[in-house]
Amino acid sequence: MGLQGPANAVLGKRSIAVTAPTNTVAEPNDVDCVLLVGSDFQPDDPNNQELLAELPFISMQIVDQAGFDFFVNEFFATDRDTDPKGMIEILP
């Protein structure tokens, strides 16, 4: 099914994909993602199981607003040299 189908099933808010560096690598080795879900997200729901399973080349964090803010504004914001990293917002 791929990521887009399961992500759309639970996307109530926002998702961000980050590659390092986004604008200079044509084919990155992996993609870091953070998916903001609402309080009604149920990890045990069968529709959400594919999101929770390991996906090849995708490092997925499924978080609430506080976790989303941390990943977007701090963890993914810069690389180890504190250079800003590019981010892509994926809209449903």
Give the integer Cα–Cα distance in Å for 68 and 61: 9
pLDDT at 27: 65
Q: Is residue 46 reached through a cis peptide bond, with omega within 30 degrees of 0 on the bond before it? A: no
Strands (E) located in 1-92:
15-18, 31-36, 58-63, 88-90
Going from the C-alpha of 79 to that of each of 2, 28, 42, 52, 67, the distances in angstroms are 28, 15, 32, 26, 18
Q: How far is CA 7 from the centre of its chain?
A: 10
pLDDT at 88: 80
The pLDDT averaged over each successive group of 10 residues in the chain (92 residues) is 47 58 60 83 79 74 89 86 82 70
* Domain range annotation of the chain: 4-90
